[in-house]
């Protein structure tokens, strides 16, 4: 399977704290993307990082990519209750396909 693995599977933090989740993958990639999924809904795209980039920021989100280790991390700073959701990494590979990780379930306690 080319599916990535997220770590941890579940994360519970207090509002205002930072949340870090990691993604490891197996194959060469064109880019890596992070998505959020609220319960019972579709996925929403958060941020994309290309294979030749090492770090990217968007608002309270910071993504890093280490292609030598085939891993990425997503940092959400100053978390809010509304950030409670599942977060998935998706690797973009040849043929315009995507392979999604298993997800991290984040709970932000008010």
Partner 1 sequence: DGGITQSPKYLFRKEGQNVTLSCEQNLNHDAMYWYRQDPGQGLRLIYYSQIVNDFQKGDIAEGYSVSREKKESFPLTVTSAQKNPTAFYLCASSIGRKNWPQHFGDGTRLSIL
Q: Which residues bind partner 1 (CB under 8 A)?
A: 1, 3-4, 30-31, 33, 35, 40-45, 48, 88, 90, 92-93, 95-103
- Residue 7 or 15 having the CB closest to partner 1: 7
Q: How far is the CB of 76 from partner 1 (least distance, A)?
A: 18
Contacts of 52 (CB under 8 A, 6+ apart): none
Residue with Cβ nearer partner 1 (40 or 59): 40
Least Å from the CB of residue 99 to partner 1: 8
Output the smallest distance, CB 38 to partner 1, in A. Answer: 10
Neighbour-count burial of 88, counting CB atoms closer than 10 A to its CB (0-12 exposed, 13-18 middle, 19+ buried): buried
Report the phi/psi class of residue 69: left, alpha or beta, with left for phi > 0 and alpha for psi in -120 to 50. alpha
Cβ–Cβ < 8 Å for 20, 68: no
């Amino acid at each position: 399977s080319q599916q990535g693995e997220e770590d941890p599977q579940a994360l519970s933090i207090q509002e205002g704290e930072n949340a870090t989740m990691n993604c490891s993958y197996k194959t060469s990639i064109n880019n890596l993307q992070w998505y959020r999924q609220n319960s019972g809904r579709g996925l929403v795209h958060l941020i994309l990082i290309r294979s030749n980039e090492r770090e990217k920021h968007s608002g309270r989100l910071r993504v890093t990519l280490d292609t030598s280790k085939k891993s990425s991390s997503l940092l959400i700073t100053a978390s809010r209750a509304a950030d409670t959701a599942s977060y998935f990494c998706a690797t973009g590979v040849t043929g315009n396909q995507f392979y999604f990780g298993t997800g991290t379930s984040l709970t932000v306690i008010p």
